Amino acid sequence: MYIFNQCKEISNQLDLNNEDKARNQLILLLDYMKNNNIEYSHIVNHLIRLTGLYPYIDTDNAILEDRLIYDMFKVDTGSDEPLTLHREQSNLLKKLLNGKNLAISAPTSFGKSFVIDSFISIKKPNNILIIVPTIALSDEIRRRLYKKFSYEYKIITTADVELSDKNIFIFPQERAIGYIDAIKNLDLLVIDEFYKASFDFDKERSSTLQKAILKLGKKANQKYYLAPNIEKLYSNLFTEGMEFIPLTFNTVYLSKHDTYKEITLSNKNAKLIEILNQHKDIKTLIYAGTFPEIDTVSELIKKSIPNSDSKKLKLFSSWLATNYEKNWNLTKVVRKGMGIHNGRLHRSLSQIQIKMFEDEDGLNNIVSTSSIIEGVNTSAQNVIVWKNYRLNSFTYKNIIGRSGRMFKHFVGHIYLFVKPPKDDEIQLTIEFSENTIPDVDEVEYKDDLTKEQITKIIEHKENMYNILGKEIYERLIKENSFQSSRELIEKIAIDMKNNPDTWNGLSHLNSTPNKWDNPLYKAINLQAGKWDIKHGDFVYFTKILSQNWNKSIPELLAYLSKHAIKIDMFFLLERNATFKLSALLGDINTLQKVIFKNKNVDISPFISKVSHAFLPSVVYQLEEYGLPRMLSKKIHIAKVINFEDETLNIHSAINIFNKLSIEYIKSKVVTFDEFDLYILDYFYDGISNKNVNKG
């Protein structure tokens, strides 16, 4: 009787055109039936059809009409078998196949990847570029598409790769910029999380995304931009001519628990442990917000949760102790069944944790900053919002959207340890960022720029013309030579012009580390306060990092302990070196080769080394594919693959791995421990092509 009454109420809501409410009630009913092992009746299947949730139809218990709908909405997504799309996925795919330019806002549980995969399978375009916010997300998408399409497409995720006839590019915006000249034409430009083009949502990187959208958008026959939770999109240059479709179509139900009403300062910690113990076999994400709060939760877990008896977790903890730091928080909490996710960790280490989180006998909990929102597409049955750091309506909806998973958890549970923000309408405004201005033609975009911005562009150009010459500066801009802000580029150029003698030591960067001090100080002093540590300590760190290939991380940490640099700071500083320092030195090198052209100095060799953390370039790139440097080192020492071969690139390395086979690698590298082998299996899973015989 309960099921009949629920079906009746759902039908009434549909009659009143309250489809969202009807769908939520239906998902709750499906969850009830799953938990009680109740088969779907004809009427339940029919309601699934009416609410557009076609993949949920149970064809064994559906009437002919509903079974036909299930089959009619099947499409080729590159998988072994065609998959059934839900109604809104199908509508979007139809619009894309008809050549529409779309800007879509949809819930996290919507299933956007199916639409992209189906487009590739059906349309078979020559070139697709997918821009994502993080390298971790680019690897996740690469793994999915590689298995489906690498027999036909070259999947490109790293810099300086030779193009094929058919390519799928998957990049963060910074790497996409490097391919502007190489890419002549795009059949489809996909921008994932396109809201990040707004300065309001990403102060540091919005200008780079804007630049990529403007320059690559001109080469795209079609555009498909994706974001969650945007309710209103104001007219702007970056989405001009695109159809904006805000969707509320959800495939899971979010059940919110106002835990904050029950807690005080004295019982907050106990409440967290209580929830984790009650749901110890359920996957849970904990949004801590900040690094200090991650430490707080980690300490609480270490004290209050017993060690797991999982062999896999014990092996992982031992592996971390050997390869990173035995007293590190992550090493300790892994034994408790918890991982730590943030944007500073080595890429392979973040990926291994996500893999362990998705394993049934792996991690049950992950505590995270916002990196878990932007960096990966994982989800969990439970989400705990522990802290309200930067928790506006948009961020809050993004976090709770990680709860529940289609076909796995009909209902996701949200435990709020803080009061949620006011449910404001989320509006997106995208205006020119100041740092985009050097690459913008004030005549071409005069209708989109303010008078003040036009004045700044003209002033900046005149200053740079005076220093470099008009022809040279315009060539450098056209070649996308600069990565730093307009102000910094101008500051460096002026300093080189006025104080040339202070730049005499740049060539020492191509020498031994004991000669690096002066040029490194000169460079990093240009951006005071941007290095997260005293300048002297950062210079020392960079010199120690130069031994990254020859020394283990515990050995490097022993040297760095003299400057009180521990494992978490190591991750941060390595990231600063590979991204911030290499970008800054790249701009310095570009300018000095023009301004001091008679000196014939080129520090590109040093820049290449620091951008790869002083590892062989392929070893560094393989970490994005899930293979840690420690495993690469063992493979190299065993003389299976020579990673010091300068002719080796990422695609030839992957080909070698596939040619040799995982069994061969395991047989030759006798130093691999049991968890090394687990990681190797995961790595090979990401480079194997199950459709290899399709072509």
pLDDT in tens, 568-621: 999 999 999 999 999 999 999 999 999 999 999 999 999 999 999 999 999 999
Residue 622 near residue 650 (C-beta atoms within 8 A) = yes
Tokens 């990187």, residue?
205
**Rounded CA separation 465/98 (Å):** 46
pLDDT in tens, 263-287: 998 899 999 999 999 998 899 999 9
The mean of the pLDDT values for the chain is 92
- pLDDT exceeds cutoff 90 at 160: no
**353: three-class secondary structure by DSSP:** helix
C-alpha count within 13 angstroms, C-beta hemisphere, residue 258:
4
- pLDDT exceeds cutoff 60 at 388: yes
Q: Taking CA 452 as the corner, what is the angle to CA 449 and CA 457, rounded to the nearest 5 degrees?
A: 75
Residue 280 near residue 331 (C-beta atoms within 8 A) = no
Average pLDDT over residues 78-98: 93
Distance set, CA 93 to CA 86, 114, 117 (Å):
11, 9, 10
Name the pairing type of β-strands 74-75 and 83-84. antiparallel
CB atoms within 10 A of CB 462: 10
Name the pairing type of β-strands 102-105 and 243-246. parallel
Instruction: Please state the length of the chain.
Output: 695
- pLDDT exceeds cutoff 90 at 243: yes
Domain presence at residue 470? yes
Domain presence at residue 427? no
For residue 337, the 8-state DSSP code is T
Average pLDDT over residues 505-513: 96
Average pLDDT over residues 396-404: 88
List, edge to edge, every strand of the sheet that includes 167-171. 154-156, 167-171, 127-131, 188-192, 223-227, 102-105, 243-246
At residue 176, φ and ψ (nearest 5 deg) are -60, -35
CB atoms within 10 A of CB 295: 15
**Rounded CA separation 547/540 (Å):** 12
407 in the same domain as 289: yes
For residue 259, the 8-state DSSP code is G
Domain presence at residue 78? no
* Dihedral sign, Cα of residue 463, residue 466, residue 471, residue 475: negative
Average pLDDT over residues 629-639: 98
Alpha helices, DSSP H, located in 580-661: 582-595, 604-611, 617-624, 629-637, 650-660
559 in the same domain as 531: yes
266 in the same domain as 308: yes
Q: Higher pLDDT residue, 435 or 300?
A: 300
Distance set, CA 187 to CA 128, 184, 211, 219 (Å):
6, 10, 19, 8
Structure tokens at 511: 């020498």
How many domains are there within the chain? 6
Q: How far is CA 554 from the centre of its chain?
A: 27
Name the pairing type of β-strands 411-416 and 382-385. parallel
pLDDT in tens, 543-576: 999 999 999 999 999 999 999 999 999 999 999 9
Domain presence at residue 495? no
**Rounded CA separation 595/538 (Å):** 28
Residue 410 near residue 404 (C-beta atoms within 8 A) = yes
**Which residue in 294, 260, 254, 262 sits closest to 398, CA to CA?**
254
**112: three-class secondary structure by DSSP:** helix
Distance set, CA 442 to CA 445, 456, 549, 568 (Å):
5, 10, 47, 44
Residue 376 pLDDT:
65
Domain presence at residue 457? yes
Domain presence at residue 103? yes
- pLDDT exceeds cutoff 90 at 190: yes
Residues 6+ apart with CB under 8 A from 556: 544, 545, 547, 548, 570
pLDDT in tens, 320-346: 999 999 999 999 999 999 999 988 899
Among candidate residues 246, 273, 288, the one where a domain is terminated:
246
At 695, is the pLDDT very low, low, confident or very high (cuts 50, 70, 90)? very low
**Which residue in 357, 184, 205, 388 sits closest to 282, CA to CA?**
357
265 in the same domain as 410: yes
271 in the same domain as 197: no
Residue 374 pLDDT:
64
Among candidate residues 563, 594, 611, the one where a domain is terminated:
611
Structure tokens at 156: 């490109």
239 in the same domain as 258: no
- pLDDT exceeds cutoff 60 at 149: yes
At 409, is the pLDDT very low, low, confident or very high (cuts 50, 70, 90)? confident
Residue 693 pLDDT:
43
Burial class (CB within 10 angstroms; exposed 0-12, middle 13-18, buried 19+) of 656: middle
**Rounded CA separation 444/226 (Å):** 27
Residue 223 near residue 189 (C-beta atoms within 8 A) = yes
**Rounded CA separation 591/454 (Å):** 24
459 in the same domain as 388: no
At 371, is the pLDDT very low, low, confident or very high (cuts 50, 70, 90)? confident
Residue 205: give its domain's CATH number.
3.40.50.300
Q: Taking CA 131 as the corner, what is the angle to CA 125 and CA 136, rounded to the nearest 5 degrees?
A: 120
Reading phi first (left if > 0) and then psi (alpha if -120 to 50, else beta), residue 692 is in: alpha
356 in the same domain as 470: no
**338: three-class secondary structure by DSSP:** strand
- Max alpha carbon distance in the chain (Å)? 89
* Dihedral sign, Cα of residue 320, residue 321, residue 324, residue 328: positive
- pLDDT exceeds cutoff 50 at 692: no
259 in the same domain as 238: no
517 in the same domain as 570: yes
At 203, is the pLDDT very low, low, confident or very high (cuts 50, 70, 90)? confident
Domain span at residue 6 reads: 2-72
Among candidate residues 72, 94, 120, the one where a domain is terminated:
72
At 694, is the pLDDT very low, low, confident or very high (cuts 50, 70, 90)? very low
Specify the amino acid at residue 306. P
At 104, is the pLDDT very low, low, confident or very high (cuts 50, 70, 90)? very high
Domain presence at residue 694? no
Domain presence at residue 398? yes
241 in the same domain as 290: no
Structure tokens at 312: 């896999």
**Which residue in 677, 673, 664 sits closest to 627, CA to CA?**
677
Residue 210 pLDDT:
93
441 in the same domain as 389: no
